[in-house]
Chains A and B, each alone.
Chain A
Amino acid sequence: MPLLDFFLLSFLIVSAVAVARTRDLLSAVIIFAAYSLVMAIIWQMLGAPDVAITEAALGAGVTTFLFLATISKTQRLE
């Protein structure tokens, strides 16, 4: 297993667990945006640059501000 793959994949697992364990929803959404960005880097490494650029625009951008708009209209703490 190459070293960069190991770091990125372990970052994915750690940030997924952190999303599940965080009580603050705003922190959870921001950690999820970082998760999506690392996922885009992994797809670039896997040879799928189309999926990487779409994930960086849709997953890390659009999903985050949809979640933020919802949290600003509902409660922030879980």
Chain B
Amino acid sequence: MEIISRLLENYYYFVSMVLFIIGIHTMLTHSNLIKKVIGMNIMDTSIFLFFVSIGYRRGGMAPIIQPGVEAEMYVNPLPSALILTGIVVAVSVTAYALSLIVELYKQYGTCCANEIAQIRAREES
């Protein structure tokens, strides 16, 4: 089986793929809103793991320049710089989603998305 041997060769990519599937399954099946936000965070970290593992070079050093070391000995610094932006944006999105959840709990008295949908359907009818 060629695909399985490729997957075992690229095991970091495989693990990030599994984490993405776990995150999206958590987001789609659970009706609790806080659990949905945790699933979104798991999806975020899986994509960050994928990006950083693309830039890895086997036996490479961290990209802090030391004198007398050639440029081929360091790992790729560009995915690290992009992911550093992504972590802060993920925290901002999480904080805004949590403030929305607090307001929803004040309005409806529950954190369950299905119950909120039922209450809204009852109010509209």
Contacts and interface: CB of A to CB of B under 8 A. Distances in A.
A46 B15 contact: no
Contacts of B116: none
Contacts, number: 113
Nearest to A78: B32
B22 A50 contact: no
B34 A5 contact: no
B53 A1 contact: no
Contacts of B11: 1, 5, 9
Interface in A6-43: 9, 12-13, 16-17, 19-20, 25, 28-29, 32, 35-36, 39, 42-43
B80 A75 contact: no
A20 B84 contact: no
Interface string A47-71: 1111100110011001100110111
A47 B49 contact: no
- Interface size class of chain A, counting residues whose CB lies under 8 Å from the partner chain: 35 or more
Interface residues of B, number: 48
B80 A48 contact: yes
B22 A13 contact: yes
Nearest to A22: B35
Interface of B: 8, 11-12, 15, 18-19, 22-23, 25-26, 30, 32, 34-35, 37-39, 41-42, 45, 48-49, 52-53, 55-57, 60-63, 74-75, 79-80, 83-84, 87-88, 91, 94-95, 98, 101-102, 105, 110-111
